[in-house]
Structure 1
Amino acid sequence: MSGATLSVREVSWQAGQGTTILHPVSFELPAGQVLGLAGANGAGKSTLLRLLYRFHKPSTGSVFLDGHDIWKMSARSTARKVAAVLQEQPTDFALSVWEIVALGRRPHGTGFSGSGRKDQEITESALDTMALLPLAARSFGTLSGGERQRVMVARALAQEPELLILDEPTNHLDIRHQLEIVALISSLNITIVTSLHDLNLAGRVCDRVLLLHQGRTVAVGLPQDVLTPSHIEKAYSVQARVEQLASSAETHLTFHL
């Protein structure tokens, strides 16, 4: 897998009655980098993600992958380049873990265990990456919330995307599997946009951070330039302090009402 350059130019989105949910947002994300979206509930993070994986068409502006407007590509072509892991999980609990992950091959013309050798190898590799091979024959409906989340990430990896969209990927996960997802985000050679509630996590794994407040950009850039006390106070209406951890060179944010 390899990443694509993502260019977002003045994209906005309005609800049906004309209420603007997301005001114009612009940023550039080089291939292979990770962008973290941060902001309080209702800031517009999920709306922006929906524009990136072509669920909503922008009211204004454009989204480009390697210079190609995703709304001038076919839906199938876009699905071969963009994969999304959402907070909502599938309801077809009768399928096995293998079958769910194999569905990631559908944009390439296949998608079940009877597919060709290449598809089976890619499916197996995605399961292995997420430590799911021992669960491959299990029914999806028998899994815990954390296990289901890992299955959905594996399905996205089986899609072999150039852009991976992750909507709160650490939700429902215990600490161990949160750390595994973080390590995965850091190691994948694809372009990633992920929404994260944990600002310390965002600062740790993201190459760039976009901070939103009520549908508007507060700041976008390097984590150390965006995750400042003044920006965080504007976005969350809380006081923040940057602390240097004694045991390492890392910084840590603490918050106060």
Structure 2
Amino acid sequence: RAKIRKVAAAYDIDPMHIVGAIVGEHTYNVDAYDRLQTYYVKAMSYLSSKLTFAYEGEDVSDFVERPQFQKCAGITDSYDLWECREQVWNHSFRGKTVGGTSFPNDRFGATFFQPYYAGQTFGLGQLNPLTALQMSDLVHKVSGLPELDVNDPNTVYNTIMDPDLTLPYVAATIRKSIDAYNSIAGFDISHNPGLTATLYNVGNPEQRAYALEEENEKRRAAGEAEKLPEENYYGWLVNDKLDELKTLF
């Protein structure tokens, strides 16, 4: 509890946001996909193997050198860089055949960044490697942890699975969601752990904030009430149990 409070303070968020994200992920993610024993087996298989972030033998560090990613060249912030690369993936590669290689209609993170158990997340915060890479600069700035390197997958996974290292990444992810909805869509979600838990679960907060603002621009033009951000079932659970969770802190 003290660790969560300390990390939350560093990222200027309420501890309930971190608690909500963890509770939601472990209620619906770990319980649904894993039993405790297999959870640890998977963790050990990651940490004891030489991992690569690759698809069909092509390392992601080589993949992002393709000309389609030229628009991302020169971006230095880790969040903006990997967001740009994910957008290029969605637009130019996802579900398409490029240069004789057929790429799956799946998320960038699931395709390149989960070599054994594609689609799943691990650790206390149930983070995926791509999210950790995105948050690397912010965590380095605020918490002083070493920057992550896409060419060192084992360190990325160690960071995800070590609770002391993972918590700052959980907090940074939540901080990014709060900032995105405030600056892009004009909504302050800093007092709604259910909404931040939802965004923690579904990801892509900036894209979702832009989509919400675009819809509300149309609604305002038509004289209609704005659409508010909505919780999914993760967020509903967190807000429904919020009073109970607060008693823990």
Report the TM-score, using the length of structure 2 for normalisation.
Answer: 0.27
Q: Which structure dedicates a bigger proportion of its chain to strand? A: 1
